[in-house]
Amino acid sequence: MDAPPVDPMVGRLLDGRYSVDSFIAHGGMASVYLATDTRLERRVAVKVLHAHLAGDHETLARFQREARAAARLSHPDVVAVYDQGTDGDRPFLVMEFVPGANLRAVLRDRGLLTPGETLAVMDHVLAALAAAHRAGLVHRDIKPENVLLTADGRVKVADFGLARAVAGSTVTTTGSVLFGTAAYLAPEQFEHGTADERSDVYSAGVLMFELLTGRTPFEGDSAYAVLHQHASQNVPAPSTRTPGIPPQLDALVTWATARDPAQRPTDANELHDSLVDVRDKLSLHAAVPGLPVTATAPLAATTPPPTPTNALTQAVAAGSVADAAPPQGPTRHRGQRSASGPRFGRRGWIVAGLVGLLIVAAGVLGWYFALGRYTHAPALLGETRPAADAALKRAGLHAKWLKPVYSDQYAQNQVAVESPGPGDRVGHGGTVSLRLSLGPAHIPSVSGDTVAAATAALRAVGVTVSSEDHVYNETLKSGLVIKTDKPVGQEVQAGSSVILFVSKGPKPVAVPDDLDGQSVAAATAELSSLGFLVDSDQQRYSNTVAKGDVIASVPGGGVERHQGDIIKLVVSEGPEYVDVPNVEGESLVDAINALKAAGFKVDDEQFAPGGPQQVFRETPLGKQKVGTTIEIDYY
């Protein structure tokens, strides 16, 4: 039987430092190996770019971008990148080695997670994304394969290979391949080719849906069938797939996965804050699920209730009177004395009394844990901040003030968002998250901004850019925004869209074709009236164009240029006069060559045929206009 092929990377010493010990996994762009950093004596993971991609500039740029992006992050929930280098022609990254499995393996083995475990995992994922967003990066590829779990309960977000700076971040396509996984992509990533922090929030919401239900919200025969569903359908509440999920988790998922980015949390930090609030209020604290184990059913609760040892303890644990009854003594008839006498009767009554007290205590505890430890959030929508603080204080609750939002319903400085909502249950001493209204949104002035800056300014007031119209403009250079299709200051509802009018620069103008022969002053005036600048410093002798008139323009007539461009005029100095060379006594050949070299024409006439061909007379002499005919006589 043939031995399996040996990976040529195993056993190599990369860059004289990293000893490759064993193969871990293959990816679409690179292979990952377990290695030893011989200098620091620690285990590391080394990602080596595939040989056939090492010469591809786009792939190499993505590979290098992963190192730069991850190097900008320093967070316990992000896989650290230690080093980057090239061994021969093979680029590689040196990363933190995270022993364990990815979240996909856990889901494959266990089906789904409990709400508590889901919140425990998402707590770390959102914390990692929040760190990236604070650093100005979007991950763009959040999915279970990029979330690593260790046996000791750590969570690490990996693969920042698609990470880009927030400003101008776009989705890259190659043929029919869309980088990023279709099941988790936000609609704007494939509809408009853009991604920002809210795109990561959408993907995190889809991931949370999958953890709670065991499936992604949309499935199809092809990636584009799934993408179409993301664009045309709302992500359903997880409880429609898995009954029993608390409505607060439904609300978190549907908020994060709103199709309109303006309706989502602004970034992972905001979603993380809300997730922590929900976890604390529902007391859904749980450990991160460990490595996959063989499982034949969905996960049980993170902390299973203790097994009752008898009917009485079961009644106390459940808070139910029906589950237990007082112990019964021996039956005796009227007039019959018990063998134990009155002592047994007193003991029975004592036991019965204790059982009754325990049942009452169980009922009280059951009521407390089911209802008594909760109060209801007061109705605060429309209140001012001082009034809301006072109402919460009276209710024994605390306020958490988040970033204000634009609101069409509530006036400026009134409470516009309350979570939990009015009347919802909240634990005594708990926290209610509130947002004040900024009032209705108005179209800001974006004239002179770049498209990216204008889009961000509009997004801040809840307005999206539906399209761009590029037109000529005489005052703004190409690429700058002229205006929107809605006037500055107009009140708009959140979720509205506008068209951006973007400058293509001044409209091209044809250079006049009648400049030749005009005076410099006339030609300059005509060019200036068309918005051109004029340079008339270049001069040239001309026997045909009068001194001071235009010989030609550069560029020539009919060529299109933009206003503000420089048109050069070649101006005549008139004819050129030079001294006629004295060629008397020279041979005929030398005389003709000398006169032509000086720019003159020659008319020669021979006298006394048969002579030595020597010039004996030349006319005219002195300074003559270049091109003049010089007569020479020779014999």
Q: Are strands 629-634 and 601-606 parallel, antiparallel or unpaired?
A: parallel
Buried b or exposed e, range 320-332, using 16+ CB within 10 angstroms: eeebbeeeeeeee
The helix/strand/coil state of 558 is coil
What's the rounded Cα separation, in Å, for the pair 112 and 106?
8
DSSP label at 6?
A: P
Active-site entry in 141, 196, 267, 277: 141
Q: How far apart are CA 493 and CA 537, in angstroms?
A: 59
Q: Is 388 left (phi over 0), alpha (psi -120 to 50) or beta?
A: alpha
Closest CA to 230 of 188, 200, 201: 188
DSSP states of 438-480: --SEEPPP-TT-BHHHHHHHHHHTT-EEEEEEEE--SSS-TTB
Separation CA 493–CA 461 (nearest Å): 9
* Residues in contact with 254: Cβ distance below 8 Å, sequence separation at least 6, in sequence order: 205, 234, 235, 237
Instruction: List the beta bridge partners of residue 470.
Output: 502
d(CA 606, CA 588): 10
- Which helix (H) or strand (E) segment is 375 a member of? strand 374-376
Quote the CA–CA distance of 631 and 548 in Å, as a whole number: 31
For this structure, is 141 an active site residue? yes
Q: Cα–Cα distance between 109 and 102 in angstroms, integer?
A: 11
DSSP per position, 302-336: SSPPPPPSSHHHHHHHHT-STT----------TTP
d(C-alpha 486, C-alpha 461), whole Å: 14
Q: CA quadruple 267, 273, 278, 279: dihedral positive or negative?
A: positive
Sign of CA dihedral 367, 370, 371, 374: positive
Q: Kindly state the tokens that stand for 568.
A: 């050069």
Question: Phi/psi at 386 (nearest 5 deg)?
Answer: -60, -40
Residues 6+ apart with CB under 8 A from 253: 205, 208, 209, 212, 235, 237, 238
Residue 113 to residue 300: CA distance in whole angstroms: 9
Beta carbons of 118 and 107 less than 8 angstroms apart? no
- The greatest distance separating any two alpha carbons of the chain, rounded to the nearest whole angstrom, comes to 186
* Dihedral, 6, 8, 13, 19 alpha carbons, nearest 10: -40
Question: Annotated active-site positions, please?
Answer: 141
